[in-house]
Amino acid sequence: MSTDRPRHACDLPAWLEAEHAGRLDEADEAFGAVFISHAVPLDPPAGFTDAVVGLAMQAQRPAAAWFGVPARLLIVASMVLMALPVALLAGVSLFDVIAGPGPRLASAFARLLALAAGAASVAGAAWLVAVTVGEAVLAACSTGQAQLVLVLNVLLAVAGYVGLRRLLAPPKECW
């Protein structure tokens, strides 16, 4: 490690002497001076930042993400081809295998649609209640006493929270 800066060798004995004497603050300052005078400044090579950013961008891209889909399709096709002879030897009708799940799937799809309609109905009712409560809050806030009522409600809620927290706290020996 060569550098063009002059080295000050006189700081080294001062550091060692302060270290042995137990003057820790002075020893730290002397060590800092020795380190600064002997350390070579580190400068990254040209293009280092571009190389790091380029590698990070490459790592972000998925490697051959499309490869999984054909492989999965090939596995499914091979499983079907392996199961067909076994099914035919067992006397299973191919029409029953293909047409059998149809009514069950249609029934399940109809139940799913009914569930979605029920969820939409519940969401609409909840929205209607929220709108009604919001309108009531706006109407109450337009009167002069609303701020006092809101502050009293907040104080009541805080008092209830503190009381329940003390009431339902675990016993001291559980800590």
Domain ranges in the chain?
Answer: 11-60
pLDDT (average), residues 65-82: 80
Pairwise CA distance, residues 8 & 36, whole Å: 10
pLDDT on residue 60: 65
pLDDT over threshold 50, residue 68: yes
pLDDT on residue 9: 54
pLDDT over threshold 60, residue 70: yes
Structure tokens at 99: 């047409």
Residue 11, Cβ neighbours under 10 Å: how many? 19
3-state SS track over 34-68: HHHHHCCCCCCCCCHHHHHHHHHHHHHCCCCHHHH
Per DSSP, 32 falls in state H
Q: What is the pLDDT of residues 146-170, one digit of tens each?
A: 777 778 888 999 999 998 888 887 7
Pairwise CA distance, residues 58 & 52, whole Å: 10
Pairwise CA distance, residues 122 & 124, whole Å: 5
pLDDT on residue 2: 47
The model's pTM: 0.29
Pairwise CA distance, residues 122 & 131, whole Å: 14
